[in-house]
Chains A and B, each alone.
Chain A
Amino acid sequence: MEERGGRAGGFRKDTVDRLLRLHFRDGKTRVNADAQLLMAELLKVFVREAAARAARQAQAEDLEKVDTEQLEKVLPQLLLDF
């Protein structure tokens, strides 16, 4: 499953590590490699879920293109699920 550079078909491990570290309060906080991979997977699931739900919303409205409006409609429940 792991491709080049620890990239699990989505976010690279290094990218995830960097993103997390930008928000840690304690500079000494570290994330181990397994957790980085898991987090990369989680981020991918989050992105896919948002995209899929917004796409279904567009479908329900007979639209061919997903716009911000469809994302806004699914956003409250999406954020409550994560």
Chain B
Amino acid sequence: GRRCSSLQHKSALSACVTDQNQVKSHESWSLSPEEFEAWDRLYRIKESDGIKEPVLPRVQFETLENLEETPFALQRPEEGKVLELSLSEWSLWQNQPLPTSLVEHSDRCHLFIRAMQMMELMKHQQGDCSYEQELQPHLHMEDVNVPGHKRHLSTSNPP
């Protein structure tokens, strides 16, 4: 039988499920004919719905060669037909913990929220950076590796 090589994209899933249903009765991992009918009727996004299909943004490392394994790129859907979910559009909402249901916020989530709070505070700062002023008295030059020329940092370092 035919196989789906990737489930990265919804249409891959639907194509796979459709194949499964048309070719023979479903396998235990896939939707049963009744489930398929319900999915097709209630949840499946069709062209006539006029809704763009939501997709998640893909990982890209600006400073690294991109990993060759990007099956997503191969089946990149047509522009304009999808809605790429944004992780930054609502950044103003992110400087406070949003309500949870069963799963509490993780440590890194709290770190993220605190970083967003800090950015919110610093957004309107002009001139000297308060964070720099707060930390500079604690700088010990022996803790840092200054490559090349010496930077002009006024430190409390002993000579």
Contact = CB atoms under 8 A, between A and B. Distances in A.
Interface of A: 5, 12, 14-15, 17-19, 22-23, 45, 48-49, 52-53, 56-57, 60, 68, 71-77, 79-82
Interface of B: 4-7, 27-30, 54, 83, 85-90, 93-94, 97-106, 108-109, 112-113
B interface majority secondary structure: loop
B18 to A, nearest CB: 16
Contact of B54 (A53, A68, A82): A68
A80 B102 contact: no
A15 B28 CA distance: 7
B28 A53 contact: no
Contacts of A18: 29-30
21 contacts: A14-B27, A15-B29, A18-B29, A22-B5, A45-B103, A48-B101, A49-B100, A49-B102, A53-B98, A53-B100, A53-B101, A56-B98, A56-B99, A57-B98, A68-B83, A72-B90, A73-B90, A77-B98, A77-B109, A80-B108, A81-B105
Contacts, number: 78
Given A22-B7, A73-B98, 6 more contacts: A48-B102, A73-B93, A77-B98, A77-B113, A81-B100, A81-B103
Contacts of A79: 87
A45 B94 contact: no
